[in-house]
Amino acid sequence: MGENKRRMLAGDWYLPDDPELLADTVRRIDLCAAYNRTGPAGPRTAERRAVLRELFGSVGEDVRIRPPFHCDFGYHIRIGARTFVNFNAVFLDAGPITVGSDVQIGPNVQLLTPTHALDPERRRAGWEKAEPVTIGDNVWLGGGVIVCPGASVGADTVVGAGAVVTRDLPPGVLAVGNPARVVRKLR
């Protein structure tokens, strides 16, 4: 494994146009295209599951992801059992993305781990790093939710449609808005 990929995996600054990472991107492009060609659940469910097992770091039983689905690498994604992901999900997994069990993810949701340098010269040079995203068990992310790098959503929390999660949300709350803020406890 090259130094640049090692830095990415460690959460340090790295250059995404590294040849080794570009090869990983080609792998992801092929696997996402194969998955997205399988169409809706039904007779091709076994084929879809096989692609997910090859694409993701781990995938639980009875996970359903409606195509199209897009990610950066795939191998940083871990999804628990019985999770549902609706159409047009984007999981940018330059860093770890962990999604618990029994999670409901609405259409057009983005889970984003990459972040870029604030310094204009470093940003122009292409440097980025990744901060993990964690979604707890039994979470519901409404349509269009964006979870930013380094944020986590606690178990049993509901995040309203269109919310932007910029920092950790505790378990068992309803959060809405941009930035997402807790409006009430659910338990």
- Residue that has been written with the tokens 């979604």 in this structure: 135
**Has 76 been annotated as catalytic?**
no
In sequence order, the 6+-apart residues with CB closer than 8 A to the CB of 19 are none
Q: Are 77 and 97 in contact (CB under 8 A)?
A: yes
Buried-state track 125-142, b at ≥16 Cβ within 10 A, e below 16: eeebbbbbbbbbbbbbbb
What single DSSP character describes residue 47? Answer: H
* Cβ neighbour number for residue 76 with a 10 Å cutoff: 23
- Catalytic residue, chosen from 116, 137, 172, 182, is 116
Q: Degrees (nearest 5) of the Cα angle 108, 114, 115?
A: 115
What single DSSP character describes residue 153? Answer: E
Q: Which of 95, 99, 98, 151 is nearest to 128 (CA)?
A: 95
Active site residues: 116
